[in-house]
Amino acid sequence: MNWNNLIAEIASEGFAGASDASITGIEYDSRRVRPGSVFVAMRGGTTDGNRFVEKAIASGALGIITDSSPTFDHLLVYHAGLPLLEVAHGRRALAQASAAFFNHPERKLAATGITGTNGKTTTAFLTESLLNHVQCKTVLVGTIEYHIAGQIRPSVHTTPESRDLFELMAEGAAQGATELITEVSSHALDQGRAIGIAFDVAIFTNLTRDHLDYHGTMDKYFAAKRLLFDGTRYPAPRVAVINAHDPRAEELAIAASKAGAEVRTYGIAQGDWRACSYKLTPSGAEIALETPFGSASIQSHLAGEVNILNLLAAFSAAHARGVPFDQLIASVPLLKPVPGRFQPVHAGQPFSVIVDYAHTDDALRNLISLARKGVATGHRVITMFGCGGDRDRTKRPKMGHAAGEGSDFVAATSDNPRSEDPLAILAEIEPALKATGTPYIIEPDRAAAIHLALEAAKPGDVVLLAGKGHETEQILADRTIHFDDAEVARSVLAELGYGLSYGETQ
């Protein structure tokens, strides 16, 4: 592909120069520009790529696409002859350029997008597993990791920039993948990172308080999620799968239906796809499933009510993508828990230790309820949690209240403090935690807090290590360090006299 071919696929305000030289890449980060790259200089939420056009040119950029008129005019004067394109929307141009450069992988993959505050990752993994069960090759993009036709790679962002997403899709398509399953964050929807992908199926898991540091209000947060369904910025999905329990469900269903989508709802005792009854068991749940396409009694290995909802969402989505009802039911015994989501840590100890990603008050409340109903019946729940720095401060007292209200003992600690003082974050958590009357400790050192929580456990108790789940790093003000809750827990359990010699496995 050359410059002339590329710009023919991009909506532009103006252009200068032509070139038949082969393009070697599309980049939005000047540090990745190599000779022959086209650099897309676009305004972002925290930085402006137009500041780095000179660096990109110095690194050998073949041409520049910019969403800044002053940058375009500057380049016309100081880099006469360099192919240029001025566009109104930088991220849209990035998506169009990337789709063209990577030979339009979006035309080869049917896309399922999942948005919501909680449950995106588990629902994505389950949907992929159901599609894999009927021999569909998949590309999965999400919070924990990326999957490319069976290959596992570390995740960089929940929803990457369009250029990186198209590259992942192209690699998958080249290996025979026909399905894309991707988590679509509210940030990504608002910023336009999913432009260029026509989602066949879109799933809405829920909306609870989170990310108000970015969106400002819950209405704006919901408006970002709604973009995946209402056809205003992205094409409306063919099928919209919506959690019937969420207070915004009806509003979202109406918007999706008006945009032309077929709406499917799911829930417990309500919705098109529903668990009309269920029984939680130590190994998961027994569910009486009813759908417009059949009914069945199933035994899930996924613990808790929230995972019943995640399973129903995945069932509905996979069925919309062509998996027959009987194949969905046959897949259930093969479905496994997701890393960092109610993940047990076994070292022969006489109490349970669970690592979970719960980092909102709603998710923490659900986690504690699940632990009390399914694991700690008649025993104590000990919860360790923290709140991230440089993020929505209003959820800190809410999380303190949720932890204290549901637990028997709480260890409040650091999550990813980032640039904030961990003690200042804890000072915003503590009043609401203290008001619940539940015994607690404040320990800013997360490893020390894990030690204190495990040391306090008695036989039959359950210790919840909440907030980081699958994450293996902790972001501090001056550095990022390796930190894995499960790894630290195993080390502490060994110090306390437990270990694999007790006949358990990791």
Low-confidence ranges of the chain (pLDDT < 50): 501-506
Contact 351, 457 (CB under 8 A): yes
What is the H or E stretch that residue 352 is in?
strand 352-356
pLDDT digits (tens, 9 = 90+) for 382-404: 999 999 999 889 999 999 999 99
Among 186, 265, 178, CA closest to 233: 186
CA distance 72 to 183: 35
332-341 pLDDT, tens digit per residue, is 999 988 888 8
Tens digits of residue pLDDT in 372-385: 876 556 789 999 99
Distance CA 229, CA 257 (A): 9
* Structure tokens given for 340: 């960092």
**Which two structure tokens, joined as six digits, stand for 86?**
């001025």
The pLDDT value recorded for residue 377 is 64
Which residue reads 């929807």 in tokens? 189
Contact 212, 188 (CB under 8 A): no
Q: What is the DSSP letter of 332?
A: G
- The angle, 0 to 180 degrees and rounded to 10, between the axes of the packed helices 305-320 and 361-374 is 110
Query: 464: closest CA among 505, 415, 387, 407?
Result: 407
pLDDT score of 502 = 34
End-to-end CA distance of the chain: 49
Structural domains in the chain, CATH included, are: 3-101 (3.40.1390.10), 105-334 (3.40.1190.10), 343-502 (3.90.190.20)
Listed residue (230, 203, 213) closest to 116, CA to CA: 203
Q: What is the pLDDT of residue 375?
A: 59
Give which of 135, 128, 28, 170 is closest to 87, Cα–Cα.
28
DSSP per-residue codes, 370-425: HHHHHT-TTS-EEEEEEE-TTS-TTHHHHHHHHHHHH-SEEEEEES--TTS-HHHH
Give the pLDDT confidence score for residue 503 in this predicted structure: 35
For residue 214, the model assigns a pLDDT of 73
* Cα–Cα distance for residue pair 40/313, rounded to 1 Å: 37
Q: Which pLDDT score, from 0 to 100, does residue 505 have?
A: 37
Cβ distance 473 to 482 under 8 Å? Answer: yes
Greatest Cα-to-Cα distance within the chain, rounded to the nearest angstrom: 77
Q: Determine the pLDDT at residue 30.
A: 96
pTM of the model: 0.82
Q: Read off the pLDDT of residues 98-139 as tens digits, 9 standing for 90 and up.
A: 999 999 999 999 999 999 988 899 999 999 999 999 999 999
Question: How high is the pLDDT of residue 504?
Answer: 38
Q: Give the E-state strand segments of 87-197 in sequence order.
A: 110-115, 138-141, 145-148, 151-154, 179-183
Q: Three-state SS for 164? A: helix
pLDDT at 376: 56
Q: Where are the beta strands (DSSP E) in 3-150?
A: 14-16, 25-27, 37-41, 63-66, 84-86, 110-115, 138-141, 145-148
Q: Looking at 254-322, which runs of residues are DSSP E strands? A: 262-268, 273-281, 284-291, 294-300
The backbone region for 432, taken as left when phi is positive above 0, alpha when psi lies in -120 to 50, beta otherwise, is alpha
